């Protein structure tokens, strides 16, 4: 198969799959597939509720066609799988979407076809989990009748600067020839260039450690914040001072959520434990980062108590619910930890987030955000997400939402030290 002859299908049109399909659709024939019929209808109308792709960009992808009918996948000979890989309630990898996508492809798989996975997995998952599913459903033999590749996604939701095309892409294939074809395929749209890994397992491992490294670094900064708070030292001031050295890494303390940083380390630790190794640093970092919501609430309650504000029955406003600023992505947001912990104190909580789809917030977390916070109604305000709307409000407008005596806790350094009562 020559790269110019490839008939491409992208399976899964979420935050990762849609931008990828659009980029390819500007250059070549692409079939975008998703099991969600409502999502397909939305995209056919030129809209993307994730806000990752603008209507103008969708219109530019003139060779991209959308479908929720799995039978239409038979038209393709190269499949790129971009489905979610979450964790379950026990923090174990949930490969159900990946397995189901593989089953769907297996039903239409033909001799010579290639299946490329982009979903974040543990090293070995493509060949140990996905390939056997493809073989079982299709009746074909791996590396004889069909082939596989792995090219980890590097999407940063809400980031309008770092896009699919200008982020370097790691590629790999199950044979040297397939690796070359996979690399050439992505090279058609990746202006930043590609890096061909020597094996699928290397590419899988590279992806999973990218976010594990960030998670551990943020855990260190979170721990430093706990120490500096006990010492009565402003954490941001310390980080800004230390940041004057050229090789000091600019991490900030905070909640660690989202689909990547808060999830990917568990894929690596799962694999490590399966081969008899118990990770120390990675799991310690995860435990610390997962505990930050409880820490924030404990600090808030102490501050309220010192000001003689009745905690039980009080009213608190949480500003922001998404896992990061200026995007509607609610996946694995750790703001919910704050909301739930506040509820343990019998505090009445309002959540306000102009980026969030109310129906999605209710479905995912049972939280109904307020359409607009009431003026002068709150005993405490937590700035949990640094949305641009909150920064534009400024301290005075945010303070106006509180009662005459209230506590303002700025988790994201939206305001200056003097304008807030507490900072992480």
CB within 8 Å of 150: residues ≥ 6 apart: 116, 117, 118, 126, 172, 200, 203, 204
| Kind and range of the H or E run holding 207 | helix 200-231
- How far is 140 from 108, CA to CA, in rounded Å? 11
Question: 335-344 and 292-306 helices cross at what angle (nearest 10)?
Answer: 50
- Cβ(15)–Cβ(85) below 8 Å: no
**Rounded Cα–Cα distance for residues 30 and 23 (Å):** 10
Rounded-to-integer distance, Cα 269 and Cα 265, Å = 6
Tell me whether residue 260 is one of the annotated catalytic residues.
yes
Q: Distance of CA 365 to CAs 275, 383, 387, Å? A: 35, 19, 20
* 3-state SS, residue 65: strand
Spot the catalytic one: 130, 260, 308, 327: 260
Q: Which residues are catalytic?
A: 260
């Amino acid at each position: 198969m020559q790269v110019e002859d490839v008939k491409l299908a992208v399976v899964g049109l979420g935050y990762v799959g849609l931008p990828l399909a659009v980029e390819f659709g500007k250059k070549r024939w692409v079939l975008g597939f998703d099991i969600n019929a409502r999502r397909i209808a939305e995209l056919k109308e030129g809209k993307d509720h994730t806000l990752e792709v603008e209507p103008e960009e969708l219109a530019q992808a003139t060779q991209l066609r959308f479908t929720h009918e799995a039978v239409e996948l038979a038209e393709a000979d190269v499949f790129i799988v971009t489905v979610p890989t979450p964790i379950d309630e026990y923090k174990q990898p949930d490969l159900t979407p990946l397995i189901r996508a593989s089953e769907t492809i297996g039903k239409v798989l033909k001799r010579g076809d290639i299946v490329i996975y982009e979903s974040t997995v543990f090293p070995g998952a493509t060949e140990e989990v996905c390939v056997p599913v493809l073989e079982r459903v299709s009746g074909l033999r791996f590396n004889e009748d069909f082939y596989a590749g792995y090219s980890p996604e590097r999407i940063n939701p809400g980031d309008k600067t770092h896009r699919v095309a200008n982020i370097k892409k790691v590629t790999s294939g199950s044979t040297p020839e397939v690796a070359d074809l996979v690399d050439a395929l992505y090279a058609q749209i990746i202006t930043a260039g590609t890096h061909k890994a020597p094996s699928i397992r290397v590419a899988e491992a590279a992806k999973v450690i990218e976010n594990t490294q960030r998670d551990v670094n943020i855990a260190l900064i979170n721990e430093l914040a706990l120490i500096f708070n006990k010492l009565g030292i402003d954490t941001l001031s310390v980080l800004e001072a230390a940041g004057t050295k050229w090789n000091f890494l600019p991490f900030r303390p905070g909640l660690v959520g989202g689909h990547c940083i808060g999830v990917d380390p568990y894929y690596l630790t799962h694999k490590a434990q399966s081969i008899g190794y118990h990770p120390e640093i990675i799991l310690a970092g995860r435990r610390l980062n997962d505990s930050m919501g409880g820490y924030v609430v404990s600090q808030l309650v102490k501050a309220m108590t010192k000001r003689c504000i009745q905690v039980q029955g009080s009213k608190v406003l949480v500003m922001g619910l998404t896992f990061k600023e200026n995007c509607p992505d609610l996946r694995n947001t750790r703001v919910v930890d704050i909301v739930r912990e506040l509820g343990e104190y019998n505090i009445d909580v309002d959540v306000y987030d102009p980026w969030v789809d109310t129906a999605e917030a209710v479905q995912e977390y049972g939280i109904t955000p307020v359409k607009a916070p009431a003026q002068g109604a709150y005993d405490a305000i937590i700035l949990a997400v640094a949305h641009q709307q909150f920064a534009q409000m400024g301290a005075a407008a945010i303070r106006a939402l509180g009662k005459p005596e209230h506590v303002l806790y700025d988790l994201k350094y939206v305001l200056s030290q003097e304008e807030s009562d507490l900072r992480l």
